[in-house]
Amino acid sequence: MIELKSRRPWVLLSSLLILVGVAAFLVFPLDHEQSPIGYASKHAAPYKAPRQNVWAELTEGEAADVNNFILKEFAHLDLKKHPKSARDNFIFVVETLKPNKTDAASYLYNDGPSPPERWAKAAIAQNLKDGPYMIYYMVGPLPISKDSVILPLEYVFNSGRNYVQNPMKDYTAIQDFALALAENVSDITQELLGATANRQNPSDPHGLLAVPRGSRVDAGGLTLWLQFYRPGMSSGARTLLPQGIYAKVDATSSDVNEWIVSQFYYNGVLYEDAEHFRAAVDGPDFERTPPNLDGPWTDTEDFESHPPGRELPPPVSVQPYGPRYRLDRKERFISWFGFEFYITTAQATGVSLFDIRFNGERVMYELGLQEAMAHYAGDDPMQGGLEFMDTFFGMGKNAFELVPGYDCPAYADYLDAEWHQAYQTHHTPNSICVFEYTADYLLSRHTSQYSVTASRNTFLTVRSVSTVGNYDYTIDYIFYMDGTLEVKVRASGFIFGAFYTANNTKSEDQYGHRIHEALSSSMHDHVINFKADLDVAGPKNDMVRMAIEPFTSTYEWDQPEQPKRNTMHLVEYPVTEEAGIDWPKNSGEFYIVYSSDEKNAWGERKGYRITPGTGMGSTPHLTILNSTTLGDSARWAEHDIWVLKQKDTEPRSADPLNFFAPHDPIIDFTKMADGESLEHTTSDTSYDGDLVLYFNVGAHHVPTSQDVPNTLMHTSASSVMFVPHNFADRDPSRGSVQGVRLQMSGKKSGGFAGEEHEPSGDLRSRQMGRKLEGQDRTKASYFGATYESAIKLPLEAFEPDMAGYSSKEHDVTDLSISYKVGAAGV
């Protein structure tokens, strides 16, 4: 227990209640149904959202009804409930089809009497004449009734189709092929690596895996490179343990039995086939590389070291009186100091927010992840063409249970998530947390002649963590008391390393650094795309680039002493057509979205500024030009910000199935950002001024030895902020922030500069604070509540009981065998 020293006694009447309840609200649950919500939100009067969450994910019952309806209506497809391979037809995914904005707007903003129709989206694996496909359908309206139908879902894709061919027709056969290949060269791998593949136990920690990676995707099939890795499939550190043997496979045939193993690559040398490789190994001039062996160097924990200070626990944040935000758990609606918004999830993209308002005015209709891409560079057959599109693996379904007291404060509210795949509903407990936090820096402060004022910086965070293969992405939506919003992403986990060869003629130092005996870092770009559908004080908006430019001017009051003055001024450049924009040099431009109609009390247009946030500097876009690997699947990564018209037919910048068809994606962003006019002031235009921004966060990651074993989050943080720009008449945080005004000793203490001192008068007449009881009024005065009495907190408030951690063992996405995650792997 710990005691916080009392400064005021007036809330003693509530102390008994607090002491009785405080243990309940900070103890982590024994199972997911005892979600670790705060005492106040658990026992206070229920809070209800003003309207229904029309974007909510399907319930388990809705998903079951949709599955059963498809099974009935598509009986001719002989859909399998337990598919054996991609050659079977089956329902892969069902989820909510988010309503069109135009349909939702009348319900949200125009007092529509009923919410828009609810529909589901289904991805069905269908085996056609030329192989397996993934095909999208829309099912509804819900609930399922005699009026419900199944239609091709086409209007949200600009490719002219609602399907993508699955290039991997039989993943089990591919695994068998890779094992057979490894067995055929087991003498070579034993000689060079000291290990062989174990067909009986592919997870053998002492064995090898031959992992395929497609280097070319064509309509006629694949060309694969297979690289050997150790140890087995259960190792989390396998991306640090590449082995330097690569095999090339001609996989253009649809029949895996017709695939041909051709070249081998080792230590910078390309061999025509296995026999030439074997002969070279036996030769006198063969140059070997050191082995890349596992060991304590890949351990993420050190239980043995005891530097001074580690014997004491670190400081933590506590919330003795419960949360100050209001939460409707059923509708996933939150209200906090002027902000209001809805939360929803999707298995591909994770958490999104809708209908964000501040002090009753509209700010954004939608804010959410679109895609998380990583693109590598290197001079070996694996790293040279490596890229990942993480929504394909599922940023939502791979958002696992958060660790209380570590991922989020012990006092956070935790929300569960559900997703529906292969006829099953998967429940992930406590995968989203909501909490208030007070920063280690102030929101504002000022020392004047007579007093100093300090305002605490308390903000609200909605957080989730998605573990996609080797990386853990912490995604935060942060709300500040002045109306600012921030989207922040931090990454940790194991890097995807490259094998470091012993060949001095190699060029691998162009792509990274040697970071272990036989391991090189591999440079890569993380570009993570978000959508921000801004409705600043309404849907009718304009975007401008407000530049800060030097210029020379003449002023009448400056004559004759200064004929010309070199200075600077603001120049506004309207963004009049859809375009991609990069952050300016020297931060020399402000990017602002203004309301076209609404102004504040001073006649200035209400706006929000878009700017790099509190991460490691300006957010990046993709370095590679016209990526031969990505094709047209991620053109949004080529600039920092994009401004587009809002269209119901363009709800997303990407689709998970773009990963299957990068050169002919189902959503081609270039067809969205096609230079259409954003002018809406003339009478002959059909555009109403409703614009959408797509913006990127991420990093140019060049790992160093400090990334072993894991990349650290404070070195990988990236964010974009949306900051009010004349949106209000004054700083809104003044009415909600907590702080203190300290009055300096002296005859005029507590007064304001420029005022005549009146000893008998109240020199703090402008201040809304109250003085400490029993103390002289010239000492301190507080605005907002303060802690008033001693509070005893249980141990769980500082170190939650992990015996109650409720997660079960699960499969973490294996990026190095990425095609398994598609229809072939179900």
- Ordered DSSP codes for 262-328: EEEEETTEEESSHHHHHHHHTSTTPPPPPP---SGGG-S--SS---TTTTSPPP----TT--SSEEE
DSSP code for 389: E
Distances (CA, A) of 167 to 85, 164, 218, 442: 13, 9, 9, 54
Instruction: Return the higher-pLDDT residue of 300 and 476.
Output: 476
The answer to whether residue 245 is domain-embedded is yes
Do 127 and 244 sit in the same domain of this protein?
no
pLDDT above 90 coverage of the chain, percent:
67
The answer to whether residue 162 is domain-embedded is no
**Residue 437 contacts by C-beta under 8 Å, 6 or more apart in sequence?**
317, 409, 458, 459, 461
Average pLDDT over residues 530-543: 97
pLDDT at 618: 86
Average pLDDT over residues 524-546: 97
Distances (CA, A) of 663 to 348, 624, 635: 21, 16, 11
Do 374 and 238 sit in the same domain of this protein?
no
Distances (CA, A) of 811 to 71, 299, 397, 825: 28, 20, 11, 13
Do 144 and 203 sit in the same domain of this protein?
no
Cβ proximity of 477 and 351 under 8 Å: yes
pTM of the model: 0.91
Do 88 and 225 sit in the same domain of this protein?
no
pLDDT at 615: 85
Mean pLDDT, all residues of the chain: 86
Position 198 confidence tier, pLDDT thresholds 50, 70, 90? confident
* Distance from C-alpha of 627 to C-alpha of 374, rounded to nearest angstrom: 12
Catalytic residues: 390, 471
Average pLDDT over residues 146-150: 97
The answer to whether residue 390 is domain-embedded is yes
Last residue of a domain, one of 87, 120, 153: 153
Position 217 confidence tier, pLDDT thresholds 50, 70, 90? low
Do 383 and 475 sit in the same domain of this protein?
yes
pLDDT for 82-113, tens place per residue? 887 777 899 999 999 999 999 999 999 987 78
The answer to whether residue 346 is domain-embedded is no
Position 506 confidence tier, pLDDT thresholds 50, 70, 90? low
How far from chain centre, in Å, is Cα 753? Answer: 48
Position 210 confidence tier, pLDDT thresholds 50, 70, 90? confident
pLDDT at 49: 96
Average pLDDT over residues 720-744: 94
Instruction: Return the higher-pLDDT residue of 175 and 473.
Output: 473
- Least confident among 16-30, 269-283, 579-593, 717-731: 16-30
pLDDT at 502: 73
* Distance from C-alpha of 490 to C-alpha of 473, rounded to nearest angstrom: 6
The answer to whether residue 339 is domain-embedded is no
Position 348 confidence tier, pLDDT thresholds 50, 70, 90? very high
pLDDT at 684: 59
pLDDT for 583-626, tens place per residue? 999 999 999 999 999 999 999 999 999 999 998 888 999 999 99
Do 254 and 201 sit in the same domain of this protein?
yes
Q: Tell me which residue of 224, 228, 235 sits closest to 171, measured CA to CA.
A: 224
Position 766 confidence tier, pLDDT thresholds 50, 70, 90? very low
* Distance from C-alpha of 339 to C-alpha of 362, rounded to nearest angstrom: 10
Do 386 and 514 sit in the same domain of this protein?
yes
Last residue of a domain, one of 254, 274, 298: 298
pLDDT at 745: 77
Do 133 and 252 sit in the same domain of this protein?
no
Instruction: Return the higher-pLDDT residue of 506 and 37.
Output: 506
Instruction: Return the higher-pLDDT residue of 178 and 546.
Output: 546
Average pLDDT over residues 636-660: 96
Last residue of a domain, one of 298, 327, 351: 298
Position 261 pLDDT exceeds 90: yes
Do 473 and 578 sit in the same domain of this protein?
yes
pLDDT at 508: 62
What distance separates the 2 farthest-apart alpha carbons in the chain?
A: 102
Q: Dihedral through CA 574, CA 529, CA 433, CA 455, nearest 10?
A: -40
The answer to whether residue 99 is domain-embedded is yes
pLDDT at 480: 98
Position 521 pLDDT exceeds 90: yes
The answer to whether residue 208 is domain-embedded is yes
Angle among Cα 487, 625, 218 to the nearest 5 degrees reads: 100
pLDDT at 509: 79
Domain that holds residue 610: 360-398+469-727
Average pLDDT over residues 38-62: 81
Helix H or strand E encompassing 24: helix 15-26
pLDDT for 676-715, tens place per residue? 999 987 665 688 999 999 999 999 999 999 999 999 999 9
pLDDT at 469: 86
Position 641 confidence tier, pLDDT thresholds 50, 70, 90? very high
Do 551 and 580 sit in the same domain of this protein?
yes
Do 528 and 676 sit in the same domain of this protein?
yes
Residue 92: give its domain's CATH number: 3.10.450.40
Q: Tell me which residue of 86, 820, 808 sits closest to 426, measured CA to CA.
A: 808
Number of domains in the chain: 3
Instruction: Return the higher-pLDDT residue of 196 and 820.
Output: 196
